Each structure stands twice: as structure tokens, then as C-alpha cells.
Amino acid sequence: MKLGQKILAIALLASTTQTIIAQTAKPKFGKGIVIEGENYKMKAAFRFQSLYNNEWNVRNDDFKYVEDYAGNFLVRRARLKFDGWAYSPKIKYKMELGLSNRDLSGGSGPEYKNTARMILDAYLEWNFYQNFSVLAGQTKQPGNRERIISSANMQFVDRSRLNKRYTLDRDMGIMLKHHFSLGKTFKVKETFAFSQGEGRNITAGNFDGFATTFKVELFPFGDFKSKGAYTGGDLKRESTPKLGLAFAYDINRNAVRERGQGGDFIQDINGNYIGKTLNSIFVDFMFKYKGFSLMGEYANRITTDGNEDVLDINDNNNVIGTYFTGSGINLQGGYLFNANYELAARYTVITPQTLNVGKNESEFGLALSKYVVGHKLKVQTDVGYRMVENTATTINDDKLFWRVQVDIHF
């Protein structure tokens, strides 16, 4: 590069840097970097979670036999997020990228063209008429509340077993959203989603079936502060009781993954993708008042023919896949003390449809969190015990775990 070109490049870089600094006007920690122009606005932010994880097996449900210790350190999540509006404040967008190994993993199959699953969210949302908006792209589907809560805003180190087994997670498609009020405080929000049905970052095309999801949310005492219906803990210390109730129903037609939008792909002996229609129901609530919070969820998933197994008719009807059907309940609550320490408890029950699906599970957990700057800078630790129903051949399924995590979000 010639000297003149170098000088020009340095000048352009300096000018851009000065413009960004002038426009951000020294934003507070946790608010991201804001760049605003004549007809656009963008906020850029990044975050990561450093986790220390410990696990032990408990043999034959007897705490005298706590053994097989395993522990590790890892960067649980590392994310870049961009959001704002373009052309008009009525046209919003969001892009979120995952950079940690856990964020990127799972994309080694042909369904992803053997590439990492970097994109988490990528969508446009247009408020086209009054309280109606339409969203197009990839994002979280309107399923269970715990999944919609960002991993940056959780009350525990990680989500519950109910979420792991039954969540809809992210998917690609379109979404219609609407809200209205009944009286001065009662608010109702409805969402309809039409998505591909195979989860995020699928590049191989649709596998002969789409998913439709319907959700309605009720807020009898009005909205929570700062989107508190979808954050863990009552960090805003609601001065009046706030309650959110939700019901969602998802139909995933010809689902070729064992958990609908997640899990292993189901293929026959010839490599063809085989699926059934899954029906999932979610009912949940969130309550907050003066530092106290309580959240409950119920999930149920079944196949339309009532049989969780998928058989290969070209290979002597061998079982080639098993959907995770059945039900789950998660209940958790906590109290935020004056020094911004929170103590929380969780109880989760997983009841698979049959033993072919899995074993019954119940899990107890306690969490202690110190919120330095809300969810933007916090330290969390939790301890839990997972009991798995014993069978004649297994006596070593129970788990004892302890985790510590540091979370920072610029």
C-alpha cells in the first residue's frame, strides 16, 4: 500500500472512531455501544459466561456412595449481539452470533452443510399496523417461558430439565404478533408462528413438513417493568403484584428430529428422513412482587398416532428413532435481598411417555446469586440433585452437581 493510501485509510478510521465516540455519548455499562444516524439505529453488545462445573454419581440412591467425580472449566457462552431499527423505528432487527464451542457445536451433519451453527438470531420485525407486527427470520419460537428468557437473564446457572427435553428452541420462519388492552391494566398478547420445524441453521431445505405455533399471554395487572415477564428474579422489585399467564400449542408436521426442533435426525436404511407429526402444549406463569418471584411451567408432547417409536419398513420394521414424548413440570422461585443477593429454589419432574423414551426424573436445586449490575454483571452458583428412576439393570443414574458461573454483558 502506498503512503498516500495508508494516510487516507488512517484518516477514515480516525474519523469513523470519532463519529462513533460522539454518537455513543459515554453509554453506561451494560447498555452496549449505540450508533445512530439519520434513518437507522444500531446497538452492539457482547457477553460471555465462564463456568466451573462439578458432577458426581450417586450409587443406588445412597449418599454413602458418591463417586466418579468429573469437573471442568469452560466458556459456556460467548455472544455478539446487534439490534436496532432501519429506515423507520417501526422496522426493527436483531442479529446474535454464538462464538463459544458450545454455541457452535452440533453442525457437523449434512443438514448444516457440515458447518458451525454460528447464527442464533437473525430477523426483521415490522410494525405494519397499529398493534400488529410481522417478524421474518430465525429466532426463538413462542414456546415455554424459560427458553424465551435469555441465557443472560437466568435465575440459575442454566435452564431446567424441562427445557432440555421439551423446548421448541429457535427456528426459521415468520411470526405474526399482536397485543391489546382490556380496561386500564389487563393486557393480552397473541403470537402465531409458521416455521420450518427443524430448528436453527438448517441449510438442507425443508423435510416435507412445517411447524405452526399459537400462543396467548395474559397480564391481568399490567406489564412487568423492563420486560420482567421474561427475566429471572425480581431485580426491579415490582411495587405492585405482577402476573403473566401463557398458553402455547405447537404442531410440528413430519418432524424428522427426536425432539421436534432439536435432537437427532431420524433416517431409514436408505438415508431418507422419516418423521411423524408432534403436538406440544405449554402452560406457564410468572409472578413478581417486591423482590419475590415465582415461575411455573408445564409441558406435554405426543405423536399423532400415540407411538413414540419410528420404524423402518425397509429394514424389518427396526426402530430407527424415538421421540421424546411425555410431560414435564418445572417450578422455581426466589427472593432478592436488599444487598442484591438472591436465594432461589427449583423443583423439576420429567415423566416420559414410556420407558422406551426415557426414565422418570426429578431434580432439586438451590441457587445463590450476587447481582453486581443486575444481570449484566453477576456471579451465580447452584447445587442440585437429580434422581433418575432405577431399573433392574441400572443403579448408578443419580447425579449430584455444583456449578459456579460468572456472567458479564456489555
Distance CA 123, CA 137 (A): 4
DSSP 160-176: -HHHHHH---EEEEEEE
Distance CA 363, CA 160 (A): 9
pLDDT tens-digit series, residues 46-74: 999 999 999 999 987 778 888 899 999 99
Residue, of 146 and 207, whose pLDDT is higher = 146
pLDDT tens-digit series, residues 232-281: 999 999 999 999 999 999 999 999 999 999 999 999 999 999 999 999 99
Closest among 325, 205, 198, 203 to 253, alpha carbons compared: 198
Distance CA 25, CA 20 (A): 9
Specify the pTM. Answer: 0.90
The domain ranges of the chain are: 3-409
Sign of the four-CA dihedral 231, 236, 237, 243: negative
Q: Is 295 in contact with 245 (CB distance < 8 Å)?
A: no
Q: One-letter amino acid identity for 316?
A: N
pLDDT tens-digit series, residues 302-313: 999 999 999 998
Residue 21 has pLDDT above 90, yes or no: no
Grid cell listed for 92:
426493527
Residue 16 has pLDDT above 80, yes or no: no
Grid cell listed for 115:
458447518
Q: Is 327 in contact with 281 (CB distance < 8 Å)?
A: no
Grid cell listed for 31:
447498555
396 SS3 class: coil
Grid cell listed for 326:
411425555
Residue 370 has pLDDT above 60, yes or no: yes
| CATH T-level assignment (fold) for domain 3-409 | Porin (2.40.160)
What pLDDT score was predicted for residue 394? 59
Distance CA 117, CA 102 (A): 10
What pLDDT score was predicted for residue 7? 41
What pLDDT score was predicted for residue 323? 97
